[in-house]
Amino acid sequence: MEGDPQRGVNYETDLATYYNREAAARDARPLTSRRVACREWFIRQLKSEHRHALLELGCGSGVDGLGFVQAGLHYAGVDLSEESVRLARAKGLDTSVASGRSLPFADAAFPAAWTMSTLLHVPNSAIDDVVSELVRVTAPGAPIAVGLWSGDDEEVLNPEDDIEPRRFFSRRSDGAVREIFGRHGTVEHFETWPEGQGAESGPGAGQWVQHYQFLVLRTPGQPN
């Protein structure tokens, strides 16, 4: 495995450094049509269940967050990148710098959660801890929407990052993703779609065979 993630939380420090540097450019980049479609679908699901708030893990500069707020939902977001959080706050969003390993919220504080293209940066040695934290801060029976880029069950540094530190990726197969999240609740929705071209392409600069994975994890227990 290239780039050993067993360095404590150093991979988080590297990610924060990378995304601090890239925050402005990413803020100016529009979301893909599939990403927007997933968000709109999830908003409809939340409203059908009378859920009016959510937490986003890996909020970036708040592009999705702004969409949730414009849909009338109460929103909070966290991210490792201070610069991304600054840009999100400039949009009027309630965001803070925090790690998914230790979320600064009370148990069952949110009726739902959303995390897109974020948990793929968490190594297998820590993924259960992070998913457990998401489950802890969401209510019993809450939906947690997750988006990931797939892989061959390998942990690597991104070959397209040409400036150090490069981003760490845990590239998981569909089976591995279902197994991991199934340990924390019920995977009630799972779909994939092929990698596209240009803006619809994923990380890896064309060196990885991959598709996108979108799932909804229903937390254990009865909804409030």
Residue 106 lies in a domain: yes
Beta strands 168-171; 186-194: pairing state = unpaired
- 145 and 115 Cβ atoms separated by less than 8 Å: yes
pTM of the model: 0.95
Coil, helix or strand at residue 1: coil
pLDDT at position 198, please?
A: 84
CA–CA dist 99, 74 (Å, integer): 21
CA–CA dist 64, 94 (Å, integer): 13
Residue 5 lies in a domain: no
The count of structural domains within the chain is 1
Burial grade of 125 (CB within 10 A; 0-12, 13-18, 19 or more):
exposed
CA–CA dist 170, 99 (Å, integer): 17
Residue 155 lies in a domain: yes
Residue 145 lies in a domain: yes
Burial grade of 51 (CB within 10 A; 0-12, 13-18, 19 or more):
buried
What CATH number has the domain bearing residue 151? 3.40.50.150
Residue 79, CA distances (Å) to 16, 59, 203 in order: 8, 6, 19
CA–CA dist 61, 144 (Å, integer): 20
- Enclosing domain of residue 27: 10-218
Residue 88 lies in a domain: yes
Residue 84 lies in a domain: yes
H or E element, residue 170: strand 168-171
pLDDT at position 109, please?
A: 98
One-letter amino acid for residue 103 of the chain: L
CA–CA dist 77, 62 (Å, integer): 8
One-letter amino acid for residue 160 of the chain: E
Structure tokens at 163: 């400036």
Digit-by-digit pLDDT tens for the chain (224 residues) are 344 444 435 889 999 999 999 999 999 999 999 999 999 999 999 999 999 999 999 999 999 999 999 999 999 999 999 999 999 999 999 999 999 999 999 999 999 999 999 999 999 999 999 999 999 999 999 999 999 999 999 999 999 999 899 999 999 999 999 999 999 999 999 999 999 888 789 999 899 999 999 999 999 997 65
Residue whose entry in the numeric block shows the structure tokens 């990726």: 169
Residue 224 lies in a domain: no
pLDDT at position 224, please?
A: 57
- 46 and 52 Cβ atoms separated by less than 8 Å: yes
Residue 206 lies in a domain: yes
Rounded to the nearest 5°, which phi and psi values hold at 149?
Answer: -90, 135
pLDDT at position 161, please?
A: 93
